[in-house]
Amino acid sequence: MAISSPHTHTLLTLLIFSLLQTLTLSELRSTAIRSDSRPIIPFDEFGFTHTGKLDLNVTLLSLRLQQNDQTTLPENPKINPNDLSLVGFFLCTRDSWYHVVDKLDQNDIVCALQSDLIKPVFSFDRLNNGGHTHFNLSLQMSDPNLYTLIFANCIPNLHVSMDVHSSMYNLEGKSSLIRDYLSAGKSNLPSIYFNFALIYFSLIFIWVYTLYSNRQVIYQIHFFMLAVLILKGLNLLSEAEDKSYIKRTGTAHGWDVLFYIFSFLKGITLFTLIVLIGTGWSFLKPFLQDKEKKVLMIVIPLQVVANVAQVVIDETGPYGGESYAWTQVFLLVDVVCCCAVLFPIVWSIKNLREAARSDGKAAVNLMKLTLFRHYYVVVICYIYFTRVIVYGLETITSYRYQWTSVVAGELGTLAFYLFTGYNFRPKSCNPYFAIDDEEEEAAVEMLKMEDDDDLEL
């Protein structure tokens, strides 16, 4: 950026690279820019290998210097408004960009295009004084890394209009003629998602067999759990095909729509299932209380908002005009949903403790109470692992191994599904109703000890 304060450079840094913390996929992208005077316009991020290439096609290019623009900062005397070498495209890594911003803040350079830390792609001084209205180029990447394609306009009041078509890919195969439009480190995502889909379809058959073998003691919640498994498997299968199509062609061609549908249904049913299990619906009681219904009335609409936000983020890219705002909405909604689903479990634990003191079935309620306590801990661990640990793994892992965060997240989700299914599966011989007197007396004593501990606290 040519003329701005240090605070502005810091804001640009946050704007450009904070959004890169989410898992994004590059593809063929076309962007229309109309009368734009922004000093920095970021496009896509992509992880290149030693066979990586960037194809850039710009058409309908026009430059207009508007001297009376009141929305821009005063002109910098170090900048020649006719110097088109201060306008153009370049590639930059995250680490390099921070150093570029430091140099701009210290006035060592007046434009990011002057830095030796970037990889120049095309500067507009090659347009024969701006006479050309289009250009097309192909750049072979000799230095593999995770780069962001950025357009810089360091001339104050210069308005740029153009249609930009960018294509970033790696060449693979023995002849190096096959294009892989997935970023390095994400190229094997289709096979990863497909293998996890096979695991879930295997679990579906196991669960169906379990329900059939114990059909005398199944509840409605067990059919709901089957629906969650089916939607999760279909979601992974559609995601595998979506990424596979992007890998081959650079675009999703409708598979993303199917993925969004199953992702939407899976998200709603999973959070609803956690709420229903937390309330003890179906296997502890046949109805929901008003406060439990309110939790569902909060969680379900929020999941709708979260999925809409995810669609906007994915379709507009990390640098879309509303992408940053929708990212914040998605994070906020996700946190609220994760917190909301914990309340029914806490209420069930409280109700079971009160019932253990009054109905004379201390052992039965103690076993239920222990199960719900364990489930409460597992839900917290699941939320923490998939929202925090996986995010941290994605942040610290090299771009070549970004698939590891996907595997970690799916393994954590699979472990949660297995725990839930195993502990709340239908049982022909329910241990809750096979309690002898000694176990009953021991349970009473344990509840008394817990009460004494609570009083001491």
Q: What percent of the chain has pLDDT over 90?
A: 33
Residue 319: strand, helix, or coil = coil
How far apart CA 50 and CA 419 sit, in angstroms, is 43
Whether residue 409 lies inside any domain: the answer is yes
Q: What percent of the chain has pLDDT over 70?
A: 75
Residues 143 and 202 in one domain: no
Q: Is the pLDDT of residue 352 over 60?
A: yes
Instruction: Identify the residue with better confidence: 256 or 276.
Output: 276
Q: Which of 127, 159, 180 is at the close of a domain?
A: 180
Distances (CA, A) of 99 to 91, 93, 422: 14, 10, 52
Residues 81 and 131 in one domain: yes
Q: What is the pLDDT of residues 73-103, one digit of tens each?
A: 455 666 777 788 899 999 999 889 999 988 8
Residues 200 and 167 in one domain: no
How far apart CA 65 and CA 73 sit, in angstroms, is 14
Residues 66 and 144 in one domain: yes
Whether residue 306 lies inside any domain: the answer is no
- Edge-first strand listing for the sheet containing 87-92: 40-47, 146-153, 87-92, 119-123
**Mean model confidence pLDDT for the chain:** 79
Instruction: Identify the residue with better confidence: 11 or 376.
Output: 376
Question: What is the model's pLDDT at position 46?
Answer: 92
Range of the domain at 419: 189-288+341-456
Q: What is the pLDDT of residues 102-115, one digit of tens each?
A: 888 888 888 999 99
Instruction: Identify the residue with better confidence: 442 or 267.
Output: 267
Whether residue 174 lies inside any domain: the answer is yes
Whether residue 1 lies inside any domain: the answer is no
How far apart CA 193 and CA 172 sit, in angstroms, is 21
For 393, residues 6+ apart whose C-beta sits below 8 A from its C-beta are 404, 405, 408
- pTM for the model stands at 0.79
How far apart CA 128 and CA 134 sit, in angstroms, is 11
Domain count, the chain: 2
Whether residue 444 lies inside any domain: the answer is yes
**Burial call 247-269: b when 16+ CB within 10 Å, e when fewer:** beebebeebbebbbebbbbbbbb
Q: Which of 122, 147, 180 is at the close of a domain?
A: 180
Residues 168 and 214 in one domain: no
